[in-house]
Amino acid sequence: MTDDTTNLKASRVSKVQYYYLKSDPDSGEPITVVWGGRESCDADYLVDRESFPYMGLEFVAEGEGALDLNGKSYNLRPGTIFSYGPDMPHRICNNPKNPMVKYFVNFTGPKARELLQDTGIGLGDNVQMVVTHEVLELFNALIRDGAKANPHSDKICNAYLELLLYKISDYATVDESGQSMARETFFRCRNQIDLHYLELMSLKQMAEINHVDSSYLCRLFKKYQKLTPYQYLLTLKMNRAVELMMGSNKLVKEIAYELGYQDPYHFSRLFRSVQGLSPRQFQVMNSGRQLS
């Protein structure tokens, strides 16, 4: 490891979990996780670097702090994610009254840099997560598999990193911007639909449960989901229908009623429009029987 690792260890952390995969990564590999972990920061935690040999991604799970990154200053709070890279000065300090718990992963490789750009998380960016639990799960998965030192741990962690970057792109908002407010509204609305989709049947109901105008809800979904709200709702319902067909012996009409459809024939037409085959064809295909 380099002197940067020593500086990091001297920055006062406790209750740490670290994993080390590549102390000397092959520069020819497209994406390589080098090391990472989880840190509970002490009150006087401070990292002050003029440079760093790898690209880094850090996620604040708890607490508060401050960040100076590439000439800009930011407040750190739960859900904040920021990135840095070689020759990119950064200073991370703690709020001693509300110390941070942070996750981080350091990595290298041309594909990693491209992914950062393609997913909208460029080096030196600071974003706020609207939904954090999936990102937290992936950081914990990196720690779990990175610490095992199994023959394929490095490849598994490289795959986790790619997935992590895409998840951040899905749920991140640009800090302190009008676009951030719209994106946050979208995720709030989508989360409500996810929670209540079994009872929802129409665009009007989706708008009412979210206390927004129907046309505005449509614009949000078109911008961030590339689907209409109704198409999204229909996908949730038909995916649930698949789960019920795979996990129970319920009749098609019983599944239709459970999803809010009083007309089983209408339900069957909707199922075919989403899944590409009728409910009966799906049941036969997954039972191994032949259609009569």
Question: According to the model, what pLDDT value does residue 11 have?
Answer: 63
The mean of the pLDDT values for the chain is 87
Percentage of residues of the chain with pLDDT beyond 90: 59
- Using CA atoms, how far residue 167 sits from 78, 132, 163, 246, in Å, is 17, 10, 6, 28
For residue 4, is pLDDT > 50?
no
Question: According to the model, what pLDDT value does residue 32 have?
Answer: 93
Q: What is the pLDDT of residues 156-182, one digit of tens each?
A: 999 999 999 988 887 776 544 445 678
Question: According to the model, what pLDDT value does residue 10 have?
Answer: 46
Confidence class for position 142, pLDDT limits 50, 70, 90? very high
Q: What is the pLDDT of residues 13-41, one digit of tens each?
A: 777 899 999 777 766 788 999 999 999 99
Looking at domain 177-292, its CATH superfamily turns out to be Homeodomain-like (1.10.10.60)
Question: According to the model, what pLDDT value does residue 292 have?
Answer: 46
Residue 55 · residue 123 · CB < 8 Å: yes
Average pLDDT (98-113) is 93
Confidence class for position 126, pLDDT limits 50, 70, 90? confident
What contacts 206, CB < 8 A, 6 or more positions away?
189, 193, 200, 214, 217, 229, 230, 233
Question: According to the model, what pLDDT value does residue 1 have?
Answer: 38
**Stronger pLDDT, 131 or 256, i.e. the higher one:** 256
Q: What is the pLDDT of residues 85-94, one digit of tens each?
A: 998 999 999 9
Could you tell me which CATH number the domain at 3-172 has?
Answer: 2.60.120.280
Residue in this structure with the two tokens 């720690």, named with its chain if needed: 143
Please tell me the distance from the alpha carbon of residue 104 to that of residue 102, in angstroms, as a whole number. Answer: 7
Question: According to the model, what pLDDT value does residue 288 have?
Answer: 57
Residue in this structure with the two tokens 């098609």, named with its chain if needed: 252
For residue 64, is pLDDT > 80?
yes
Q: What is the pLDDT of residues 217-260, one digit of tens each?
A: 999 998 888 889 999 999 999 999 999 988 778 899 999 999 99
Domain ranges of the chain: 3-172, 177-292
Question: According to the model, what pLDDT value does residue 174 have?
Answer: 52
For residue 290, is pLDDT > 60?
no
Average pLDDT (56-80) is 93
Which residues, in sequence order, are bridge partners of residue 19? 36
Look up the pTM and report it. 0.65
For residue 264, is pLDDT > 90?
yes
**Interaxial angle between packed helices 214-224 and 203-210, expressed in degrees from 0 to 180 and rounded to the nearest 10:** 90
